[in-house]
Structure 1
Amino acid sequence: MSNPALSFVAIDFETANASRASACSVGLTKVIEGEVVETVSWLIQPHESVSEFHPINISIHGISSEMVAQDGINWVETVQRMNQIVGDLPIVAHNSGFDRSVWNHANLVEGFDDLAPDFFCTLSLSRKLTQVGVLQGLDSNRLDALANFFGIEQKKHHDAGEDSLVAALVTLKLLEVIQRDSIADAWGAPTSSGPIRSHRVPSVPKVRRNNLLSVVPTAAPPEGIAGEVFTLTGALASIAREDCWTAIEAAGGTVTKSVTKKTTVLVIGAGADESMPPLLGDSSKEKKAIALIESGQSIAVIGEPDLLVLLNEN
């Protein structure tokens, strides 16, 4: 029996660089009454103010400036196409805060006043279900991990079209698991990325307490990735954590989930623009790093923009 409440569009963006205004590809998958009816994708020419393609982004999605110059369309035409496909349907994305923010920031640099529609987020829903033990055996809430968990074939992660298709199929699987027959029933209110004030990557708000003195790192910032052992704490604004791990490892570095005696670099995600943030002990990883530094271990402390510079140099 058909169910109009199971009609939606899943969307995925890829970007040329750390700016969320730099959309370079989009994929959309339309689901009507619980059945996938269409998957489309195309390349986008980013606005000239954010058109530089960074090596780390190219390594993730394989899209170059030459490719979008030859086959891409501009953002104005992209919005027209997306609106035609979406119509009045709900929109779903995996990590919707990122994808909706891309739409909004790309609008902003083009001078559009319109905000993107609200999104439903499969990442947030899967995290909630994992926390309450519904998705037992799931080792990560990444899109590719969810695809593997549900037996969904994925040939090329970070291809916008395929990622939108996988997000759509994951959505249907999540609804099946929790026995919900509508998008609204599963999520309630959709998510909004909030007000947009500039085309820069928005900083992640972080309140830093001053009840602990800042500890001076015992190592200078690294000159490269290779051979270093990285630990990340806090939220990253401009790159997904799993993509960051992949890029570090591809450049010859190692990533550990917790601070250990092998850690040589602690990356503190205190905002997209906060370089060399102070080590104050605001997280368990920071506290562990402080303890190891005080015991004589050599650990460098860098911020998100410092890490992106290192990655883009590789």
Structure 2
Amino acid sequence: MHGISFTAIDFETANNFRASACSVGMTKVRAGKVVDQVSWLMKPLPGYEEFHPVNVGIHGITASRVHNMPTWQSIHGPMMDFIDGDALVGHNVSFEKSVIAKANEACRLPAATLDFHCTLALAKKHLELPHYTLSDVAGALDIPAFNHHDAGDDARASALIAIELASRNGITSLAALWPAAQKPAARVPGYYSAGYTRKLADLPQANIAANPYGPLYGQTMVFSGDLAALPRAEAQDSAAARGAAIANSTTRKVTMVVCAELDRGGRPSAKVRRAHELAAAGQDIQVIGEVQFLRLMAFK
């Protein structure tokens, strides 16, 4: 296991905005062994401090618990000191990557230069499972029971998953464990940069088992522009999980267009202009902004 060294990381957020971090957990691994672990609560940044009931129901952190805790500006330095230049590992690590980027942006801190590696992608490569949630993968690998959605426990579980999969496959370096991530042109598995448009075949399928009374169930949705709260691909995945069909262009089948620029006063895109044309012609189609979309996302 010589050479398998990294820091695993996990965030919890107060609401759908990535800059609303309210907890971070980190686990340090050296030569395939867990050697240190920290977790901190934090008060979300001004403008992002509302605790949404859905998020509280997931992680149990409330505004009162973090009222006297430090904010991102105070946590950032100790967090970077603990990371100490390590590659960062997480389960669906695009979430952690976007939390760091959005929180730094909100605080006007320099963008972090970090390498990210995803245990979700790693599990899909080496395991055949019906589902690949952190709990599912940990259970399949006989990782000790942990308190899911506790940032410290989740970071440790992600670390142990990477260690176990490396051990099972005789892998002794991060470069061998995540070979694609070492290529300069490669994206972090599961991460889509701003402006990236998925191919039609890569779009998520509507979850027919979702709550049929939810406001997104049965909608056919198009996303225009890049959301501030989360990458477009994650927004598409989340909407599909709630029963929406996802499309790339505004056609006569589309019922809802999410316009990232609507709340910012930006110029309407071709997708939005087409939606207005179809609405004027009698089609049942609506254009909503990011804030309204996030409110609809709160319904399970």
Q: Same fold by TM (over 0.5)?
A: yes
Equivalent residue for 1:276? 256
Distance 2:144 2:287 in 1: 37
Residues 13, 102 of structure 1: 8 Å contact kept? yes
Distance 1:120 1:102 in 2: 15
The 5-angstrom pairing of residues 238-249 of structure 1 reads: none
Count of residue pairs brought into register by the alignment: 244
Residues 268, 304 of structure 1: 8 Å contact kept? no
Equivalent residue for 1:266? 244
Q: TM-score, normalised by structure 2?
A: 0.68
Cα deviation digits, residues 122-170 of structure 1 (max 9, x gap): 111222x2xxxx424x221211100000111233211100000000000
Cα deviation digits, residues 180-219 of structure 1 (max 9, x gap): 1111211133555677xxxxxx78735679xxxxxxxxxx
Q: TM-score, normalised by structure 1?
A: 0.65
Q: Does 1:10 align with 2:8?
A: yes
Equivalent residue for 1:172? 163
Distance change in 2, residues 1:180/1:93 (3 Å): same
Structure 2 gaps, min length 5: 202-210, 223-231, 259-284
Distance 2:169 2:40 in 1: 33
Match for 1:309: what amino acid?
Answer: R
SS at structure 2 position matched to 1:41: strand
Match for 1:276: what amino acid?
Answer: M
Percent identity, please.
32
SS at structure 1 position matched to 2:177: helix
Equivalent residue for 1:92? 89
Distance 1:304 1:159 in 2: 32
Equivalent residue for 1:67? 65
Q: Does 1:147 align with 2:138?
A: yes
Distance 1:270 1:56 in 2: 28
The 5-angstrom pairing of residues 32-111 of structure 1 reads: 32-70=30-68, 72-111=69-108
Cα root mean square deviation, aligned: 3.9
Equivalent residue for 1:199? none
Equivalent residue for 1:20? 18
Distance 2:107 2:117 in 1: 25
Residues 270, 277 of structure 1: 8 Å contact kept? no
Structure 1 gaps, min length 5: 196-201, 210-221, 249-264, 279-299
